[in-house]
C-alpha cells in the first residue's frame, strides 16, 4: 500500500515538474524571440538640419546619442550659410515642409526669432506634453531660456544654447584704460583712439542688410530706452525719438570714421575676419562663438555692455541681443516620442558642456557657467550669466520675418547712403523711420484682420 502511494506521488510530482519545465521552456523561448525581434528590428530614423559650420560638433553629440540609444538614429542634414542667411534658409525650408504636410523634419533646430511663427502656423508640438516648467527649472535651466521658448502658454522650443551680443576688445591696445561699459563710452574711447592714432575704422559691427544688422540695431535701441514692437499690444516705436537717436548713433560711427564705410558689407564672418587681420581694430561687436576663431585670443577681452535699465532700481544692467537656438519637434514627425528622447539628450547638461567646449556657445543650464573645465577655457563665461538673464528679445510675433525685412530695408538705406558719403540729414532720418513704422503697423493690422 505504501509502495503504491509512493509511486502515485512520484507520478504526480513528475507531471508537475514536466508542466513547470514546459512553461519555463516557453518563457525562455518568448524572451529569446523578443530579444531576436529587438536585435533585428530596424532603428527609428529622425532627421535634423543644422548649419554646415556646426556639423562637426553635432556629429560628435550624435555619435554619443547613438551609443546610448542604438535603436534611434539621427540623420544629420546640413545647409550652407551664405552671407549670414542661414537662419532664414532653415526657417523657410521648414515652414514650406510643414505647410505641404511633409514629414521630412523631426527635430527642428531653430533660432529664437522664428519660434512664434512656427507655433502660430501649427508646425511644432507643445513640449509640455512631456514635461513642465517647474521640472525644467528644477533641472537647472535658466528660467529666461525657458520663457523664450514659450508662446501663448505652451512650450515649443527646448533651450539648447544661449547667445548674446558681446563686445570684443584688444587689451594690448587699451593698456591701462578700462574697457567701455556702455555704448556711449565705447564711442568716446573709439574717438580718442582714432584721433590719437589717426586710424579709421576701429569699431566693427554688422551693417550688411540681413538679420545681423537688426541684432546690432536693437542693442543700440535698447541703450536709448527705445522699442521696436511691443508683442503684447503690437505698439510700434520706430518713429519715436529714441529710435531716431539709435539710428544716429550708427550713422555717426561712419561719419566720424570710428567705423569704416566697409561696415555696410559686413556680416558676422566678414567683421570677424577684419578683426583678425587688422591688429589696430579696437572693438568688435560679435557673438560668443567668435572666441574660438580669434587669431590671438591672448590679447583680446570679452564683456557685455550695459544696455538695459532695471526698472526697479533705475540702474543699467548688462545685456545683449538674444540670439539663442533651441530644439523643437515637428508637428508632422512620425516619431514624436523618440524625438523627445533625442531632444532631452541634446539639451542635457553633459551634451551642452561638450558643445560649449568645442564651439564656445553659452549654456542654457545655470550650473555650466561655473563649471571648472569650461571656466578654464572661457574665463569670461561666469560674468555673462546675468546678461543672459537680461538679454534683449526681438519682437516675439509670428510676423517677425516681414517686420524684420521692413526695418532692414530702411536701416540699410540710411547706412548705405552714409557710407557712400551722401548727405543724410535729420529730416530724412525722421521720414524714413516714419515710413518703417507705418509699414510695420500696416503689416500688423493686416495680420490682425486676417486672424479676426
DSSP 357-387: HHH-PEESBGGGGG-HHHHHH-TTGGGGHHH
- Read off the pLDDT band of 449 (50, 70, 90): very low
**CATH assignment of 44-163+323-389?**
3.40.190.10
Mean predicted confidence (pLDDT) in 200-220:
96
- Read off the pLDDT band of 31 (50, 70, 90): low
Q: CB within 8 A of 307, min separation 6: which ones?
A: 182, 183, 219, 222, 223, 316, 318, 319, 320, 392
Other Cβ atoms less than 10 A from the Cβ of 120: the count is 17
Q: How far is CA 123 from the centre of its chain?
A: 18
* Residue 86 to residue 344: CA distance in whole angstroms: 24
pLDDT of residue 452: 43
- Read off the pLDDT band of 30 (50, 70, 90): low
Q: 89-110, pLDDT tens digit by residue?
A: 999 999 999 999 988 999 999 9
C-beta of residue 181 within 8 angstroms of C-beta of residue 306: yes
Tell me: pLDDT of 181 over 60: yes
pLDDT of residue 450: 47
C-beta of residue 281 within 8 angstroms of C-beta of residue 295: no
Q: Nearest CA to 359 among 349, 351, 367? A: 351
Share of the chain above pLDDT 70, in %: 89
Least confident span in 19-23, 140-144, 169-173, 407-411? 19-23
Query: Packing angle between helix 211-223 and helix 400-419, nearest 10 degrees?
Result: 80
* Residue 340 to residue 319: CA distance in whole angstroms: 31
Q: CB within 8 A of 328, min separation 6: which ones?
A: 107, 108, 110, 115, 118, 124, 125, 127, 149, 156, 157, 158, 343
Q: 300-344, pLDDT tens digit by residue?
A: 999 999 998 877 777 889 999 999 999 999 999 999 999 999 999
Name the phi and psi angles at 102, rounded to 5: -75, 160
Q: CB within 8 A of 45, min separation 6: which ones?
A: 73, 74, 75
Share of the chain above pLDDT 90, in %: 81
- DSSP-assigned letters across all residues of 140-174: TB-HHHHHTTEETTEE--EEEEE-B-EEEEEHHHH
Domain ranges of the chain: 44-163+323-389, 166-316+395-451
Other Cβ atoms less than 10 A from the Cβ of 376: the count is 10
Tell me: pLDDT of 28 over 60: no
C-beta of residue 397 within 8 angstroms of C-beta of residue 381: no
Q: How far is CA 14 from the centre of its chain?
A: 70
Mean pLDDT (the chain, rounded): 91
Which option is the CATH number for 166-316+395-451: 3.40.50.10790, 3.40.190.10, 3.10.150.10, 3.40.50.20?
A: 3.40.190.10
Tell me: pLDDT of 451 over 50: no
Tell me: pLDDT of 202 over 90: yes
Amino acid at each position: 500500500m505504501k509502495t503504491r502511494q509512493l509511486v502515485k506521488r512520484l507520478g504526480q510530482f513528475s507531471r508537475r515538474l514536466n508542466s513547470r519545465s514546459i512553461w519555463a521552456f516557453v518563457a525562455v523561448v518568448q524572451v529569446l524571440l523578443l530579444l531576436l525581434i529587438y536585435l533585428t528590428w530596424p532603428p527609428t530614423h529622425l532627421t535634423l538640419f543644422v548649419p554646415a559650420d556646426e556639423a562637426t560638433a553635432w556629429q560628435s553629440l550624435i555619435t554619443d546619442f547613438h551609443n546610448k540609444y542604438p535603436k534611434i538614429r539621427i540623420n544629420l542634414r546640413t545647409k550652407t550659410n551664405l552671407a549670414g542667411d542661414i537662419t532664414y534658409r532653415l526657417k523657410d525650408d521648414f515652414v514650406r515642409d510643414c505647410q505641404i504636410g511633409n514629414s521630412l523634419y523631426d527635430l527642428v533646430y531653430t533660432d529664437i526669432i522664428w519660434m512664434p511663427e512656427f507655433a502660430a502656423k501649427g508646425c511644432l508640438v507643445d513640449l509640455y506634453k512631456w514635461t513642465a516648467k517647474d521640472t525644467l527649472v528644477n533641472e537647472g535651466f535658466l528660467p529666461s531660456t525657458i520663457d523664450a521658448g514659450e508662446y501663448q502658454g505652451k512650450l515649443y522650443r527646448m533651450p539648447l544654447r544661449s547667445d548674446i551680443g558681446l563686445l570684443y576688445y584688444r587689451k594690448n591696445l587699451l593698456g591701462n584704460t578700462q574697457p567701455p561699459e556702455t555704448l556711449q563710452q565705447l564711442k568716446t574711447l573709439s574717438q580718442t583712439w582714432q584721433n590719437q592714432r589717426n586710424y579709421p575704422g576701429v569699431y566693427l559691427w554688422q551693417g550688411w542688410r540681413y538679420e545681423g544688422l537688426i541684432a546690432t540695431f536693437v542693442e543700440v535701441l535698447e541703450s536709448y530706452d527705445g522699442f521696436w514692437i511691443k508683442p503684447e499690444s503690437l505698439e510700434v516705436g520706430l518713429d519715436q525719438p529714441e529710435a531716431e537717436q539709435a539710428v544716429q548713433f550708427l550713422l555717426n560711427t561712419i561719419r566720424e570714421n570710428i567705423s569704416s564705410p566697409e561696415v555696410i558689407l559686413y556680416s558676422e564672418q566678414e567683421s570677424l575676419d577684419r578683426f583678425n587681420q587688422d591688429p589696430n581694430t579696437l572693438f568688435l561687436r560679435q557673438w560668443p562663438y567668435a572666441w574660438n576663431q580669434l587669431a590671438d585670443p591672448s590679447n583680446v577681452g570679452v564683456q557685455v555692455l550695459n544696455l538695459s535699465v532695471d526698472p526697479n532700481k533705475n540702474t543699467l544692467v548688462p545685456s545683449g541681443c538674444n540670439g539663442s537656438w533651441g530644439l523643437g519637434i515637428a508637428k508632422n514627425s512620425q516619431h514624436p516620442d523618440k524625438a523627445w528622447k533625442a531632444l532631452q539628450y541634446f539639451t542635457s547638461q553633459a551634451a551642452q558642456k561638450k558643445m560649449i567646449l568645442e564651439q564656445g556657445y553659452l549654456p542654457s543650464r545655470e550650473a555650466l557657467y561655473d563649471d571648472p573645465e569650461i571656466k578654464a577655457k572661457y574665463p569670461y563665461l561666469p560674468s555673462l550669466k546675468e546678461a543672459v538673464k537680461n538679454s534683449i528679445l526681438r519682437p516675439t510675433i509670428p510676423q517677425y520675418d516681414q517686420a524684420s525685412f521692413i526695418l532692414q530695408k530702411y536701416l540699410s538705406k540710411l547706412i548705405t547712403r552714409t557710407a557712400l558719403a551722401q548727405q543724410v540729414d535729420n529730416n530724412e532720418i525722421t521720414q524714413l523711420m516714419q515710413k518703417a513704422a507705418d509699414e510695420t503697423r500696416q503689416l500688423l493690422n493686416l495680420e490682425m484682420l486676417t486672424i479676426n
